[in-house]
Each structure stands twice: as C-alpha cells, then as structure tokens.
Structure 1
C-alpha cells in the first residue's frame, strides 16, 4: 500500500501568507464624506492555490515552437515527428545498452502561472509504438527573472522494450530540486517562487524508420499549498456513488517482485486500473499474454508493469500512472491538486471518480486498519451524510475494497501538507494530490466541471 519513501520526498511546504485570503478596506473618497455611511468593502476571494495549464488543442500545438514536428488535425489533435532534426546515442542507465535515435522537438510557450508556486508537476498523454519514446522536460522561471535549467521530468514509453521508463534523480539548482516527478522549491520560507514555466517534448524514433510517437496532451500543475496540519471542515454537498470495479492489491502480494516487491506496493496501478475499466477500457488478451496463467485480475499485474519507474523503483510515479491510463482508447489523464473535498464532490457528482494520495497513522482514519507513509485509493462516492466512499486497494480481497471513511478524518489526511509520524516526527503530506481520468468525449456537465479546474 505504501510507496517507497526512501526514494521519494514530497516537499509541499509554502508560506501560509502566500495563499491565505485577505480582507482589505477601500480607500475613502477625496471629497467630503456622504451623509450616508460608506459600505464596507467585500472580502477578497482567497488566492488560488493551484494553476493548471495543458496544451492539447490544435491551436495550442501551433502556438508552440516545433523543430521537426508536425501538428496532427482531427478530433484529437496531437504532435508527431515530421522530419527528424538530429540523431543521438542514448545509453539506458537501467540496461546499460546504447542505441541511436532520431529526434524532433516541441517547446511550449511560456506560461505565467496564476499561482506563485512552490511545486510543479508535469503530466502527459501519448502513444509510443515499439521503436519510439519521448522525453518531457521543464524549465521554470523565478520571480527575480532567472530560470532553472531544463530538468527531465520523465523519459517515457508505454512499453519497456526500447527504453526503461524512468524519472531522473540528482537534478537541481541553488533554489529547487526534482524529487521523482515533482519540481519543488527547496525552502519555501525564503520566499522563492516559480512564476512561469515552459515544457519541452523530445520525440524519438529508430533511425531511418517512419515511426513516430504521438503526444495528445502535455502540461503541468503549479501549486502553492500553505503549511498546515489541519484543513477547514467542509459542508457535504452531493451524495452519489459510482459503479467502479473493485480490485485489491493484496491478492497480488508476492507476484512479480521485480515491480516493487509485488502487490503489497501496487496501490497506484490498482487504483488506475479500476478507473480505466470504469470508463469501459481494459487490456486485451494479447496484452495480458505475458502474465502467468491462473493469477487473479491479471490486468492489475499489467498496470503495475507499465507504470513502473525504474529509477524510483516503484509503481507510484504520479505522471506515469496518468500516462498509462491515457494509453487506452480516447482516455485523457492529468495529475493535479484539488483545494477541498467540495471540489472532489463536484467531480464525483459529474460521474468522474478520482484517485487520491494520502498518508496517515492507523488511528487517524477510522476503519482503515492500517497506517501508511503514502497510499493511493479511488474515491467513488459520498454518502448522504457526506462521508467518503472509497475503493481502497489495501483490502484483503476484492469484496472488501469498498470502504466508507469519516468525512472529517479523510479530508484532513488528504489535504494537509504536514503530519506527525508514529515517532512524533514531522513529515510531509500531499496537499490534495490526485489523478483525474476522463474520456475524450465527456458529457456537457463533465466538461463544465473539468474546465472549472483548468483540465480541458
């Protein structure tokens, strides 16, 4: 159920003042005051905590700077190789094998974030036939006008025959560092913030071939969630339960230990597979032919293999899970943060289940029966009382996956950025991180709520 915390540090600290709401009074008029008393000014809206920007339309792709790429038209515009602009040798650090690749690039326009951010997380949706792969890089601008180098946020392929999909450790500059899939300010108390960023895609293929990857969506979530051990309680708004398949990760304990020791650590791909199938997609018999016969729910083994990050050493890389989901027909996926349980209710009410990331002591979540330093589960509904209905993969079997958790406990363990571990030490929380998957043709209501979060 837990992700390998030795390989991943979640840094979500930020100054509360940078994201808190403010109350200001309007200045008085220069002339004499009117006889009637002046109206008090209205409270200002709370500063946003999250800014999403995704490039996915034909216009989006055209506004970027392509070198050797072409923009694909049609109902799902994308980016592909037209004429390669170079050739390079790449040595895979996880196999030691060196191969030659042709490549083309595309660079996004500079996006100025509505949030002076302490963290940036990129995500993407792509197809990479055998003989192709992509690299996703990010460069962020600071408030003083300087910028980071280009950081690799992922070297990715849907398969694992050409390269091993991987994050890249050891990247940073004097102000920030990359932690697996997150670019984070090292010390938010210094006031350092990301004010803008660019993304760069490099599309690779076997030299001399006509193959190409296709990228349909790329973007990032910028956030500045304040330090907090507790979050304000929300008021229940919508009661609904979605019919999402239920899979337990624990029935896979000991299976395929090469993917992070087996099912015990497969909370993220198990959750991803539940929602992929909720939207009516699933791997084919041919896709699953590699799985040993007789294993239950072989599609969960499949999801674990194809979300595995060979540098991180686990299946919990957030963008890799989103990218895996988007390999299925006409599915979109993004990693983001939500600001409240009310936001999550809106998505579920529209028919969109959400995968959430949280960490907690056993005593902090009544009925869980375990504690965890990091765990993914799928929120599928809310009771009339507002409690959370979750498909929790950390269950003994599929029948036990559906859980009802107390609203107040659940929203706090998900939305906080600081917590105490079992030894009383302060640790980080995820601050509302989640995966959102939806079909290319959402309903009008689904599109409306997705648009409100900047996802479409």
Structure 2
C-alpha cells in the first residue's frame, strides 16, 4: 500500500473494511497467557519489568509429514524429505477456469487436500490464511477456508487466494484474490475473513482449509506446498493499547530500500514505486536471509533502474483483483519462493513479543496506519503502510527500515516507542476526515529459513509459530 493518506482498503465501504473493527471481541474470547519470551540481547531492566501480554491470537500451520498425512486426500500425495509437503499424485478430476484478468478459459486437472477441523483457542472474529509453495509454469493453487460459527452453522468455502508464483502470459493464471464473498455473517476482504457484526457474539469456533492443486491436463509437473495455515484472532476493540516497558537494545543488519526511488516505474503494478511498501519491505528481509532473485530473474527490468529486485518483488506479489502489491499472504508466499525460506502472516500482542523476535535475530514486517501528527518524524500520514522493524534503541524506541523514505540512505528511522506501538496495535482510529476507521491490530509478516537456531525456534514458538 502507498504512504499517501488516501482512501484504500483499510477505509473502504465505511468501517466494513477488510480490517473490520472487532467490537466486544475480548468479552467473548478466552485470553491466552503469553509464553515466555526469548532472552534479550541486552536488557534495559530486570525481567520482572517485561509484562506478559494476553494473546488473543491462534496460529495453526500444517508443515510436517504427520500434518500432510492427515486430513482428506483426493489425488494428493505427501512429499518426504527434510521439507515435507504436498503434491499432485493422480488427478482427481478436470475443471475449466475462466481467468477474469486475461479473458481466457482453460481446462486444468486438479487434486485436492482438506485439513482436519481445527478449533482455535480463540473464538475468532478474523482469520487470515497463508501458504508457502512452489508452482512451476503451468501450475497454480487455490486456498480456501470454511468456518464453523458458534451458532452451529458453517460458512461457505471461501476462496482466500488463487496463486501462482509466475505470470507467464501463456502458461500461468493471474494470481488473484476474490471479491464479493459473503454469507450475511462474514465477508472476505481481499485476504481477510471478517465477521460482519462482532457485537452479536457470533464467532468462528473452528475451521478447515482446503488446498486445490492445478496443472495442465497430461502434464507431469505439480505444485508443491510446504506450509499452509491460518491466523485466527479476536483482538479487542481499542483506540489505544497499554504501554509496554522497554526490554531490549539491539539492531539487526537488514538491507535498506526505498520505495520512493521507484516512483513512476512499472505503473501497471500498483501505480509504480509510490505504492510498493509491502514488496519493498519483503525484499529487505529476503535479502537479510541471504536470498534474492538471480540476474536472469531480473533481466526483464530496465537496466537504468536502481534496485531492480524491488521491481521484481512488486511484480511477483501483485494481486490482479486488488490491483495492488499489498496482499499480505501473497507477500509471504513470494518470500517462500526463495530456497528454504518460509513466510507467515500473523498478529503480535505487544512490542515485548517483537523484542523477543529481534533478540533472536528475526526482523518483522509490520502494518500500521496513522495521521501525520501521530508518528513523530515520519513526515506523512497513511491509510495503510508496511515497515520493517529491525531493532530497538537503549530507550526502547523502535528502529524501522521505512520504505517511504526519499532514498535508501534515509530508510533507517527511529520512532518513539509509545507512538509506534499504539498505531500498530490499535484496531480503531480516526482518519484525516475525523471518521472512525479500523487499524490492523498488530499484523505482521514473519520470514525465516527452514534451518533455525534453538533460540530462533523458541522465539517463534513464543508467538505461536512453528
């Protein structure tokens, strides 16, 4: 999303946006006690000062051989080895797909896998799915979610994304979210399933995910999926959040990229660099982990453009229905196309949790929205913006690589702790017109390799990621 304070998906359709206000969620949800944070690199106070935050978030991801062997298989098989996954073994059928973004209809053969029902510890008001996969040219996947409500009824099978890593005009579909999905109780807003009215007490108490893998009839190549899951949450309705105490002073060496230097480049991808905060942030962390596109991958980019890998990330995160690069699961899926890299979308409960990740060497991409006067030193207001958090000062202030900067050299910013945690963790805010709209409630992307240290595994486990 761009940094301009314009109407976008966080403000559209009045307050029935993809970030629906979660009114009275806390009253109906059971609080989860926070697990112990990973040790800090350099504590600024005793451990007793580090509060435990109630976590109204449940993450469930299917990643292991045991996970993939469960559920219902229709033509799918489990991939063994050090990174277990799912692939097409024998197609279960054929279907025609009319791609709304190319105007072409093609026949595809498919196989399907459905997870067992998962009952989140949090009766949920929002769910966001994410997945990690490889889709060779001529293959793609569809991820769906079906919730069971607290009144005993089920939602439809909602499409949470139709995704291909490539965009070959002859071989691939256009990756896309699907609009106009609702049953009168919940609605899918681009990448987020939200209850329409949280004040009724209705909640999603369990869900299943369904993966459909597609390829051209008679082909031998197949999508391979290594991870799929969802974040279910019931973050309480709030304009402000409790202040946390600083507990860490550390900074990670993350590459710095500005989206602004790409203004006007490839406007077919979300109006060019002005709107590329999400893929620019994704590229920073992908390169932090030593991954990135090859010279051959970047051959399509105008050689006069600096940082062509940022242009590449924008192209391959682009959602043709949303018409932007800010689809959260599409960014996580893009990160996972690099060797042994994983990506998830989740929510964190506090800066204390974010500190524990930084202490373990795990930077995070966070989503926030704010007026210009709400974040000292930003110099802009935004209806939705992604930044990469890379550390904390000795005073506990947030060190962020902010892509909404005029140059790469200006990307590193220090933002006041109290201001930053409030604009990130709140679920309600006032926009520039004085209207009450929604906030993201602590949404972040986490990217990490398959091989992790014990400390890194513990830090991820402490925020519900395995």
Q: Which TM-score tier does this pair reach, normalised by the shorter chain?
A: over 0.9
Change (3 A) 1:134 1:333: same
Q: Distance in 2 between matches of 1:240 and 1:439?
A: 21
Q: Which residue of 2 aligns with 1:35?
A: none
Q: Deviations over 1:271-303 (max 9, x none)?
A: 000000000001001100111111000000000
Q: Distance in 2 between matches of 1:430 and 1:357?
A: 7
Q: Distance in 1 between matches of 2:382 and 2:248?
A: 28
Q: Which residue of 2 aligns with 1:32?
A: none
Measure how far apart 1:14 and its partner are: 3.1
Q: Which residue of 2 aligns with 1:419?
A: 429
Q: Does the alignment pair 1:263 with 2:273? A: yes
Partner of 1:348, secondary structure, is: helix
Q: Which residue of 1 aligns with 2:347?
A: 337
TM-score, normalization: structure 2?
0.91
Q: Does the alignment pair 1:226 with 2:236? A: yes
Counterparts of 1:269-418 in structure 2, within 5 Å, are: 269-418=279-428
The partner residue of 1:160 within 154, 167, 170 is: 167
Q: Which residue of 1 aligns with 2:42?
A: none
Q: Distance in 1 between matches of 2:419 and 2:67?
A: 41
Q: Is the 8 A contact 1:68 1:83 kept in 2?
A: yes
Measure how far apart 1:449 and its partner are: 1.1
The partner residue of 1:243 within 253, 270, 283 is: 253
Q: Does the alignment pair 1:13 with 2:22? A: yes
Q: Does the alignment pair 1:196 with 2:196? A: no
Q: Is the 8 A contact 2:148 2:155 kept in 1?
A: yes
Change (3 A) 1:177 1:396: same
Q: Distance in 2 between matches of 1:379 and 1:47?
A: 22
Extract structure 1 runs of 4+ deviating beyond 6 A. none
Measure how far apart 1:48 and its partner are: 3.5
Partner of 1:117, secondary structure, is: coil
Q: Distance in 1 between matches of 2:364 and 2:21?
A: 21
Q: Which residue of 2 aligns with 1:109?
A: 116
Q: Is the 8 A contact 2:259 2:405 kept in 1?
A: yes
Q: Which residue of 2 aligns with 1:51?
A: 58
Measure how far apart 1:67 and its partner are: 0.6
Q: Deviations over 1:368-402 (max 9, x none)?
A: 00000000000000011100000000000000000
Paired residue total = 434
Change (3 A) 1:83 1:169: same
Measure how far apart 1:47 and its partner are: 5.6
Q: Deviations over 1:326-381 (max 9, x none)?
A: 00000011000000010011001100000000000010000000000000000000
Q: Is the 8 A contact 1:12 1:430 kept in 2?
A: no
| Structure 1 gap segments, 5+ residues each | 23-44
Measure how far apart 1:20 and its partner are: 7.8
Q: Is the 8 A contact 1:322 1:334 kept in 2?
A: yes
Q: Is the 8 A contact 2:257 2:403 kept in 1?
A: yes
Change (3 A) 1:247 1:47: closer
Q: Deviations over 1:33-92 (max 9, x none)?
A: xxxxxxxxxxxx976410000000000001121110000110000000000010111110
Q: Is the 8 A contact 1:12 1:431 kept in 2?
A: no
Q: Larger relative contact order (C-alpha < 8 A, sep ≥ 6)?
A: 2
| Structure 2 gap segments, 5+ residues each | 11-16, 33-51
Choose 1 or 2 for highest CA Rg.
Answer: 1
Q: Which residue of 2 aligns with 1:435?
A: 445
Partner of 1:116, secondary structure, is: coil
TM-score, normalization: structure 1?
0.93
Q: Distance in 1 between matches of 2:263 and 2:31?
A: 46
Q: Which residue of 2 aligns with 1:26?
A: none
Counterparts of 1:55-204 in structure 2, within 5 Å, are: 55-161=62-168, 162-204=172-214
Q: Is the 8 A contact 2:364 2:444 kept in 1?
A: yes
Q: Distance in 2 between matches of 1:6 and 1:243?
A: 32
Q: Distance in 2 between matches of 1:380 and 1:417?
A: 23
Kindly report the root-mean-square deviation, in angstroms, between the aligned alpha carbons of the 2 structures: 1.4
Q: Distance in 2 between matches of 1:103 and 1:21?
A: 40
